[in-house]
Amino acid sequence: MRVTKPTAAKKKNSLLKVARVIRSKNSGPFELTLDIMFKERRYFELFKKKRIITARKIARLYGIPEKEVLKIVYFEPSQAIKVTLKRRIPSGSPGDTDVYGAQQHAPLLGLTF
């Protein structure tokens, strides 16, 4: 009989530990931009190399169709990832609860990798 050692579950890291800024803001009245700015270049490079942030992952976090994740940009000068989403409701329209788009980053806060 062969006995195997149980493998330890890989400990997940939190985006909160590696990012110095996580924010959202309008990118015009019809789009929203999410910014993740990293504390250290190595974290930026890790996210870039491993493609940890994907349209699929953002769509799942935000409960939107993947096609509404318009672009993901790795912005080297500020060690940042910028994700642009289509706004469900144009900024300032009836039913809009966040006219500046500044409160839409919350789903990113629980992201682990």
Give the tens place of pLDDT for each residue, 64-101: 999 999 999 999 999 999 999 999 999 999 999 999 99
Domain limits of the chain? 15-89+99-110
Taking the C-alpha atoms of residue 14 and residue 73, their distance in angstroms, rounded to an integer, is 21
Instruction: Specify the pTM.
Output: 0.87
Query: Does residue 96 contact residue 104 with C-beta atoms inside 8 Å?
Result: no
Question: Which of these CATH numbers, 3.40.50, 3.30.70, 1.20.140, 2.60.40, describes 15-89+99-110?
Answer: 3.30.70
> What 8-state DSSP symbol labels residue 77?
G
Taking the C-alpha atoms of residue 86 and residue 55, their distance in angstroms, rounded to an integer, is 12
Token pair of 68 as six digits: 């509404």
Taking the C-alpha atoms of residue 37 and residue 20, their distance in angstroms, rounded to an integer, is 6
Per-residue pLDDT tens digits for 41-63: 999 999 999 999 999 999 999 99
Taking the C-alpha atoms of residue 44 and residue 21, their distance in angstroms, rounded to an integer, is 12
Structure confidence at residue 80 (pLDDT): 98
Residue of 27, 30, 48, 45 lying closest to 87 (CA atoms): 30
Burial label for 40, CB within 10 Å (0-12, 13-18, 19+), is exposed
